[in-house]
Structure 1
Amino acid sequence: MTLGSQIAWDDTVLPFQLDRSDIRGRVARLNGTLDEILAQHDYPEPIEALVAEAALLTVLIGQTIKLRWRLSLQIRGDGPARLIATDYYAPTAEGAPARIRAWASFDQERLDRAAPGFGQIGHGYFAIVIDQGAGMAPYQGITPIAGGSLSTCAETYFAQSEQLPTRFALSFGQIPGKGWRAGGVMLQHMPKASPYAQGGGSGEGGLLEAADIVQGEEGDNWNRANTLLDTVEVAELIGPEVHPTDLLVRLFHEEGPRVFDAQPVGFGCTCSADKVRQSLSIYSAKDIATMTTHDGIVTAECQFCGAHYEFDPDTLGFEAKEEGGDEA
């Protein structure tokens, strides 16, 4: 793909590389996909912003996983913003779109609707989980909540857990009459054979930062790319007037930007009656009875997409009888 290629850039992730700096990256744009994610729930503004930021981070990070894998972000805290969870499902085949879903749990009584959301997460952790498919143990990396945003948490995660200098520049918001738009750039220094020696870093609480990992000429290259990224404007990030290819030329023309095939992204959920039934298979008939409504059914709702399921309690659990019909 050449930098002059014209494609529909909304709901895409564009991978690129800066050849002079030995840095890789992605540019992401979300529009209709983010609208669909947020339309599933009537979130207060601070929670909407957290979900939007987490979704944007997820598509930027998830673009690198292999076909049919799943990458999840989990942000948990002891504050009123208790949980933000996202899933990125890699394409099932070359050329197919990736899918993303996101959901948040919060305490209505404790949430300050006039305050930013990040400060209401409290103490907790930022985790990335990669599911490589059946027969493979999921990979999980965890770092404490640190910094002033979810993007800063993600930067800390990559420095601390992966020892990869990483930088995010994100912008997101609701445009009157046009819905939600979000856009961002991710920079990541190419991995080296010899990782940084373990030890205390210069970040919050002794956590590692990029400056602890890249030094000398590599550090100069990294700092130069970050200085250029600092000049990006909100309108350039979220579009749609500035195409991602044009943005890369504006920011990094002296760094030799080279782009690869863009990845389309859409909202998608993998919930099903079979998966709900499987999740309840560990319970006894006595346990299932406690979940049964006065109408004699067991109900379940998907937090991500709002799908509603109803089951005959006699068909659930490890003491289940022959399965009956399910309603969704």
Structure 2
Amino acid sequence: MSLGQKLAWDDSVLPFQLDASDIRGRVARLDGVLDGILEQHSYPPVVEALVAEMAVLTALIGQTIKLRWKLSLQVQTKGAVRMIATDYYGPTEEGEPARIRAYASYDADRLNDAAPFDQLGEGYFAVMINQGKDMTPYQGITPIAGGSIATCAEAYFAQSEQIPTRFELSFGVSTEADKPHWRAGGVMLQHMPKASPSVTSEGSGEDGLLTPSDVVGEGDDAENWTRANVLLDTVEELELIGPSVSPDTLLLRLFNEEMPRVYDAQPIRFGCTCSEDRVRQSLSIYSAKDIETMTTDEGRVTADCQFCGSHYDLDPKSVGFEANA
């Protein structure tokens, strides 16, 4: 089986628990989802790599949100890649797939030959959860630091949630089947402490940020966490994204003595929520005079979705709160 073929475990997240270690986690594999995200744009490879990393992180973190909830991850920086934004929409019904979308904005003339993370500058990594109508959205942020977006996510969980969290990710372009396309995979571990550890304000990470080891606690918790991380360190790139090792087999290879228990996998699809009705709703706060300033020389009001590339072309007289009935 080649990497170009669709696999049964592609575009899914498999939750699991290590019963011997009081650790939970997820295994993610993305293929067609990344195609859906990236084919909408002509990103340079270095930007594609950052979007792929954000997408697999979003899939791993998003699997825990409830039906109809929305998780958003966002990177905002002063670097060449100014923003990366992802949205994960929980399934609308039990058994239905979750949906994910992503986009990036960047200054092409500032990109260089350095590693993808080096295209980011000073800024922040944010996690936002929208629980639905009449609920206050949650937001947590942490500075960009640590050498990867995954490390930023680990710092977020340590700082904001006091939960030791580890990500091991792999992503790249497959050239199998004469059609280059991106694949990504990853494992997420979280140690659930029996009680909140005593944590000082100064962490051991870059710029004093907390790290997973700072919040893991002591005794058996620390020993279990260290052992699981040592085992995860042995994972190989092809085990994360290749066609030969299914997620459940991967867990047995890595954590056999930790008694892994798997749950139902969550399928994921590329999906965007934009629509003409949403565009009209967003314009409904503007007067006819405001709409006039948005009207093109051709006499139309246009809008483009940054996530999926959809183009909307509207009659200016039909939008805004003074629109013709």
| Pairwise TM-score range, normalised by the shorter structure | over 0.9
> 1:204 aligns to what?
206
Structure-to-structure mapping, 1:43-122, within 5 angstroms: 43-112=43-112, 114-122=113-121
Q: Does 1:292 align with 2:291?
A: no
- Cα drift, residue 195 of structure 1: 4.8
> 2:237 aligns to what?
234
C-alpha RMSD of the superposition: 1.2
Q: Does 1:278 align with 2:277?
A: no
Per-residue CA deviations over 1:97-146 (Å, capped at 9, x if unaligned) read 0110010000112122x222211110000001101011111111111101
Structure-to-structure mapping, 1:1-328, within 5 angstroms: 8-112=8-112, 114-176=113-175, 177-178=178-179, 179-197=181-199, 199-214=201-216, 215-322=218-325
What percent of counterpart residues are identical? Answer: 70
- Cα drift, residue 287 of structure 1: 1.7
Q: Secondary structure at the match of 1:183?
A: strand
Q: Which moved more, 1:311-320 or 1:193-202?
A: 193-202
Q: Secondary structure at the match of 1:109?
A: helix
- Cα drift, residue 191 of structure 1: 4.5
- Cα drift, residue 319 of structure 1: 2.5
Query: C-alpha separation between the residues in 2 aligned to 1:289 and 1:126?
Result: 37
Query: What residue ranges of structure 1 are gaps of 5+ in the alignment?
Result: 1-6, 323-328
Give the partner amino acid of 1:200.
E
| Equivalent residues of 2:130, 2:138 under 8 A apart | yes
| Equivalent residues of 2:199, 2:214 under 8 A apart | no
Query: What residue ranges of structure 2 are gaps of 5+ in the alignment?
Result: 1-6
Q: Secondary structure at the match of 2:182?
A: strand
Query: C-alpha separation between the residues in 1 aligned to 2:197 and 2:135?
Result: 25
Give the partner amino acid of 1:77.
T
- Cα drift, residue 320 of structure 1: 2.4
Per-residue CA deviations over 1:65-122 (Å, capped at 9, x if unaligned) read 000001010000001100000000111111100110010000112122x222211110
Aligned pair in 2 of structure 1 residues 240, 293: CA closer, same or farther (>3 Å)? Answer: same
Per-residue CA deviations over 1:269-294 (Å, capped at 9, x if unaligned) read 00011111111222222221111001
Q: Secondary structure at the match of 2:166?
A: strand
- Cα drift, residue 148 of structure 1: 0.3
Query: C-alpha separation between the residues in 2 aligned to 1:255 and 1:140?
Result: 34
| Equivalent residues of 2:291, 2:319 under 8 A apart | yes
- Cα drift, residue 197 of structure 1: 3.9
State the number of aligned residues: 315
| Equivalent residues of 1:163, 1:196 under 8 A apart | no
| Equivalent residues of 2:193, 2:221 under 8 A apart | no
TM-score normalised per structure 1:
0.93
| Equivalent residues of 1:285, 1:320 under 8 A apart | yes
Query: C-alpha separation between the residues in 1 aligned to 2:225 and 2:153?
Result: 17
Query: C-alpha separation between the residues in 2 aligned to 1:89 and 1:108?
Result: 30
| Equivalent residues of 1:58, 1:87 under 8 A apart | yes
- Structure 1 stretches of at least 4 aligned residues deviating more than 3 Å after TM superposition: 195-198
Per-residue CA deviations over 1:215-270 (Å, capped at 9, x if unaligned) read 22101100100000000000100022101111000000010100000011110000
